[in-house]
Amino acid sequence: MNSPPPPSTWRATLWVAKKELLTGFRDRQMTLYAVVLPICLYPVMFWIMIQGALLFQGRREHTTVLVGVNSDPGVEVPAEVFEALSYAPGASELKESGGGLEFVEILPIEQSGDPATVAREERAKGEKHIDALLTLRGAEQSGVVIAYDSTDSRSELAAKRVRKRMGIYAEDTRELAAKRGGLDPRGLTPFTSEDRNLAPDKEMGAFVLSLLLPLLLVVMCVMGAFYPAVDLTAGERERGTSETTMILPIPRLAVHQGKILAVCASALLATSLNLLALALSASHLLKQLGQGVDLKIEVPFVAFASIAPLALLFTFFVSAILTGVAALAKSFKEGQALLGPVQMIFILPAMTSILPGLELTTKIAFVPVVNVVMAFRSMLRGEALPLEYTLTAVSLLLYAGLAILFAVRVLSRESLGVSNKTIPLTRLFSFLRSDNLSR
């Protein structure tokens, strides 16, 4: 009787990957972490942040600050100053909101002297004390002093309001003086200036995204590969299910490659779900903040399409390294401890993406991780750098290949199956050199 021909390595790889994915996502924990959590976490976080921002905005607007006003001896405080201070910008909104918008209450203070001393004394007074002190100086040192405590939020708020109102008042005074002297008040504003942004909304959105997204993508990808990598290697060892896969009549290489493929697929899935949830929650939830958020972010689909191949290669690179390292651990717990520092290897270089000024050059195209974030950034900004992109892709392909080679080498060590100890990272190289391969 003829036995059926053995499946090709590639086909077997796909089978193994499929089985690993299936069992992985049948595990409730894994599904919860990879699917449900990202979808729920972002909206909830955004919601809390937005509601918090609104709550604090409302409370700030309705805080009435008490400002003391005094002057150096011999200086009279003009009635206009009191008027200017109690004027509330946005007074029309006052009625609607039930009163108390950015309100300043004024307390005239008889005592004069060094503003700092007076302010300290007044602020030390019992229950209701002033939040800031406005002092009109005498002839020699003309001007007003706003004494406040920058470490006290009420006091800082009071100073902010007083500063703004005194600024408006001073400008009004100048214009009035000009009018009285029969002068053209335009002299006070010698010229105007206007800035016009040439970048359309879409490009601006892409620019903002290019500052955040590359790092975020790397973090999401590493986090997405983390659990599957540990689960499929160390976790399998812990559960004792690795033998079942090892006795399959297919080449070992297929088993190892299948695992890496499964880890990669889970990482991709987690990353895309994260992105989706982020996009869903960020775009329209920001509108709840009302006015003040003018930024229009459109999803640059073309840029996303160009990112995809590089992202895929990068995911392979990350998954293979994480899988290889996690395979050294004997249990899920140890695997996690082992991967903790390793994931930093990816995330720290990715921090360079927030550096302005750095650009993708032919040299940087060969620096792992940095090349990817730089390429992401350039692509999102729509910069056309065909040579650099190609070099990045080629080097990524190389690194991914090396990483897979590394992972397969680690996974195929015989002693991994026998030993019940975790191999420390420091012994990784001697381990790879010395040990027998299992076939």
Interface with other proteins, residue 62, by CB under 8 A? yes
Contacts to other proteins from residues 360-399, by CB under 8 A = 381-382
Is residue 181 a contact residue for other proteins (CB under 8 A)?
yes
Is 115 near other proteins (CB under 8 A)?
Answer: yes
> 384-410 in b/e burial notation, b at 16+ Cβ within 10 A?
ebeebbebbbebbeebbeebbebbbbb
CB–CB of 400/318 below 8 Å?
no
Among 198, 247, 384, 418, binds other proteins (CB under 8 A): 198
Closer of 152 and 251 to other proteins (Cβ): 152
Q: Is 161 in the site for other proteins (CB under 8 A)?
A: no
Of 119, 157, 154, 151, which is closest to residue 135 (Cα–Cα)? 119
Query: Could you say which of 68, 214, 235, 368 contacts other proteins (CB under 8 A)?
Result: 235
d(CA 315, CA 309): 10
The only residue of 33, 304, 366, 406 in contact with other proteins, by rule CB under 8 A? 33
C-alpha triplet 226, 232, 234: angle, nearest 5°: 85
Rounded Cα distance, 130 and 206, in Å: 47
The reply on whether position 121 binds other proteins by CB under 8 A is: no
- Do residues 75 and 138 lie in contact, with contact meaning Cβ atoms separated by under 8 Å? yes
Figure out which of the listed residues 10, 47, 82, 87 binds other proteins, where binding follows CB under 8 A.
Answer: 47
| CB of 14 vs other proteins, minimal distance in Å | 27
**Which residue among 340, 362, 415, 417 contacts other proteins (CB under 8 A)?**
340
Residue 146 CB contacts under 8 Å (≥ 6 apart), including other chains: 132, 133, 134, 159, 162, 163, 166
How far apart CA 291 and CA 299 sit, in angstroms, is: 21
Which of residues 12 and 38 has its CB atom nearest to other proteins in the complex? 38
Q: For residues 5 and 98, which CB has a smaller minimum distance to other proteins in the complex?
A: 98
Query: How far apart, in Å, are the Cα atoms of 173 and each of 188, 190, 191, 242, 355?
Result: 11, 17, 20, 84, 45
Contact region for other proteins (CB under 8 A) — 214-222, 280-288, 368-376, 410-418?
A: 280-288
Q: Does 191 bind other proteins (CB under 8 A)?
A: yes
Task: For Cα atoms 192, 193, 197, give the angle at the middle one, nearest 5 degrees.
Answer: 155
Which of 355, 387, 405, 425 is in the footprint of other proteins by CB under 8 A?
A: 355
Which of 6, 11, 22, 29 forms a contact with other proteins (CB under 8 A)? Answer: 29
Q: Which is nearer to other proteins, 204 or 393 (CB)?
A: 204
Please tell me the distance from the alpha carbon of residue 241 to that of residue 86, in angstroms, as a whole number: 76
Please list every residue from 215 through 234 that binds other proteins, using CB under 8 A.
Answer: 227, 231
Determine which residue in the list 73, 74, 98, 126 makes contact with other proteins, applying CB under 8 A. 98
Nearest residue to 25 via CA among 36, 14, 13 = 36
Based on the shown chain and the rule CB under 8 A, indicate whether residue 249 belongs to the binding site for other proteins: no
> What residues from 128 to 157 belong to the interface with other proteins (CB under 8 A)?
134, 136-137, 142-157
Q: Which one among 280, 297, 345, 393 touches other proteins, defined by CB under 8 A?
A: 280
**Where does this chain touch other proteins (CB under 8 A) — which range of 198-206, 307-315, 407-415, 426-434?**
198-206
**Which strands make up the sheet holding 65-71, listed edge to edge?**
104-108, 65-71, 132-136
Residue 100 interacts with other proteins (CB under 8 A): yes or no: yes
Counting contacts by CB under 8 A, is residue 37 touching other proteins? yes
CA angle (302 as vertex; 301, 304 as ends), nearest 5: 60
Rule CB under 8 A: is residue 87 a binding residue for other proteins?
no
Size of the site for other proteins (CB under 8 A): 120
Q: Does 302 bind other proteins (CB under 8 A)?
A: no
Q: Which residues pair with 133 in a beta bridge?
A: 68, 147
